[in-house]
Amino acid sequence: MTAAGTLDGLKPPLRSISHSTTEADVWREMRAEAEAAIIEEPLYAGIIQATILDQRSIAHAFAYRLAHRLGDGDLARLAMRDLCLSAFEADPHAGAHAVRDLVAIRERDPTCRRYLDPFLFYKGLAALEGYRVAHWLWHQGRATLSLHVQSRISEVFGADIHPAARIGSGVFIDHATGVVIGETTVIADDVSILQSVTLGGNGKESGDRHPKIERGVLLSVGAKVLGNIRVGEGAKVAAAAVVLHDVPAHTTVAGVPARVVSRLGTGEAPALSMDQFFADGI
């Protein structure tokens, strides 16, 4: 047995918490983190320099990084970079969405020490920003390229997000592996989605057939929400739950099929607290 004192000694360093959340402030802080990281790890200096320090905005940096990860033999990195940059520049809110998504990770993920880490390495953030490019292409009538980007996101990051889905900002997709988001899904702002979550159809409907997830919802590991149903604001869906009917706002549902197991206060925000306990501390 390891002594408690030894365990205390193995605790990871506390995260530095930033209160800078504007696009300019986040970009400034991430550049400072990049400069420090070059000194910390010279072997990675070239990648950090090209990806962040040589870019003139956070939108350009996201475009470069996504292209580096999603470019392939069918669509080379240079073409993918230009495509991503076109999407970010065409949408005046794209930079703000990306920043809010990045800040969401920093605030909700206890492993996140700085903005640099999710930007460079986290699959959930990359899948989400890649989806935003595919979504823009879809609405430009460029379905072939849009579906290509969707396919690459699935291959590289393990998340399958239909480009027609509508996703707000400040969304945290943790790990991304096994996440499936269907075509007519709508996800509001400030939602947290853990690995292996499915927002799918029930196989019996056509047209508008996927879930509507309201603001502040927490979808825990392996949750399945199936059909054109609504998960109300500030609700919590427990791990491995299968949801087949509407979920009232500010409740916790669990089980197969899911049922209400507890009520939450209207001031609670499970997506922000990431509290996955339900029903009497279980």
pLDDT, one tens digit per residue, over 211-252 is 999 999 999 999 999 999 999 999 999 999 999 999 999 999
Is 7 contained in some domain? no
Half-sphere exposure of 210 (CA within 13 A, CB side): 18
Tell whether 203 and 147 lie within a shared domain: no
DSSP string, 101-130: HHHHHHHH-TT--STHHHHHH-HHHHHHHH
Q: What is the pTM of this model?
A: 0.91
Residues 154, 79 within the same domain: yes
Write phi, then psi, for 34 (nearest 5 degrees).
-65, -40
Domain co-membership, 137 together with 234: no
d(CA 218, CA 76): 37
Which amino acid belongs to residue 67?
Answer: A
Q: Which pLDDT score, from 0 to 100, does residue 206 have?
A: 82
Name the least confident of 37-46, 97-106, 209-218, 260-269.
Answer: 260-269
Domain residues for the domain of 200 are 182-282
Residue 129 and residue 60 share a domain: yes
Residue 139 lies in a domain: yes
CATH classification of the domain holding 239: 2.160.10.10
